[in-house]
Amino acid sequence: MAQLQSKSKEEVEYKTIRGNARFSYRVIKKNGKTFIQYTILIIVAIFMSFPIVWILSNSLKTLNGISQYPPQLIPSDPQFGNYIEILKNSNTLIYLRNTLILIVGNTVGTLISSSIVAYPLARMNFKGVNLIFSIILATMMVPTVTTIIPQFILFRHLGWLDSFLPMIVPSFFAYPYNVFLFRQFFKTIPKTLDEAAMIDGCSRWQIFTKVLVPIAKPVFITVGVLSAIYWWNELFTPLIFIDSENLKPLTIGALTSFKVHGATNLNAWNLQMAMAMIMAIPPMLLYLFASKFLIAGIKTSGLKD
């Protein structure tokens, strides 16, 4: 009997030790995977952030310091006056004003038009709805450069060249990608809400404005942020339609305004790097504060076909 009890105790101890070993192995394996993942992410983050660090470094150098060899990552004599010189430039505030006009006009137009177009495609059943949505998605495959010449000819006949109209008015006709985001988000909302609102006497427009729009806050913020960042960085379209100096946005102004004193074709690269750094800060801050809504909007927009 004593031998059986001692044997059973040994078996219990063996199973306990074996279970603890398995648990320790699982913990080590999990922690090892986590360590490898974080190491890879840190390495990738360093490579991805290096251009920003290099721009910041060059923005704090003199013009001769940029061309110095071997290059210095950390300037020995940081020139913070480069940023002050940019802000003292009388055209900088004009460029900023023009950029904000483009951002506000396009963001408002995009939110209104894309949400209105997406509503019937997601909430109403009518013949050809899927075909219409497929055609809208197919237009995403058409490169912008192939349509810019017809647009230029059209806006020239309308007398809109050298104004903000060629860049703001098209946003009120909905962009396909934004329609896709709104449509996919609207499809995740139960249609019982529409039915309940119709029983209460709401029209289609009231259902859209009073039921769906308040619920769709994440996708509205997502599309708004994406539109704002796009037009903050947009260069191609203003180059085509804008000629006047007082209508140029920051993207063009950063390329053309800062020259070496007494030279007409020599760029002051240190000032342009400072301008590029200033332009990089707002999108990063905007994404930082709106990242939660961006993730929620994009995530829920792909849940349902």
Q: What is the pLDDT of residues 62-114, one digit of tens each?
A: 777 777 777 777 777 777 778 887 777 767 888 889 999 999 999 999 999 99
Q: Are residues 136 and 122 in contact, defined by beta-carbon separation less than 8 angstroms?
A: no
Q: How far apart are CA 184 and CA 302, in angstroms?
A: 6
What pLDDT, in 10s, does the model give residues 160-175?
998 999 999 999 998 8
Q: How far apart are CA 256 and CA 36, in angstroms?
A: 46
Query: Hey, what are 245's tokens?
Result: 């100096």
Contacts of 158 (CB under 8 A, 6+ apart): 165
Give buried/exposed letters for 157-195 (b at 16+ CB in 10 A, else e).
eeebeebbebbbbbbeebbbbbbbbbbbbbbebeeeebe
SS3 61: coil
| Residue 80, number of CB atoms within 10 A of its CB | 9
| pLDDT confidence of residue 26 | 63
What pLDDT, in 10s, does the model give residues 239-251?
899 988 888 898 8
Per-10-residue mean pLDDT, the chain, length 305:
49 52 57 78 86 83 75 76 76 87 94 92 86 89 86 92 91 89 88 86 87 88 89 89 88 68 57 82 81 63 49
| pLDDT confidence of residue 7 | 47
Contacts of 132 (CB under 8 A, 6+ apart): 121
DSSP codes, 129-180: HHHHHHHHHHGGGS-HHHHHHHHHHHHHHHT-SSSSHHHHGGGGG--HHHHH
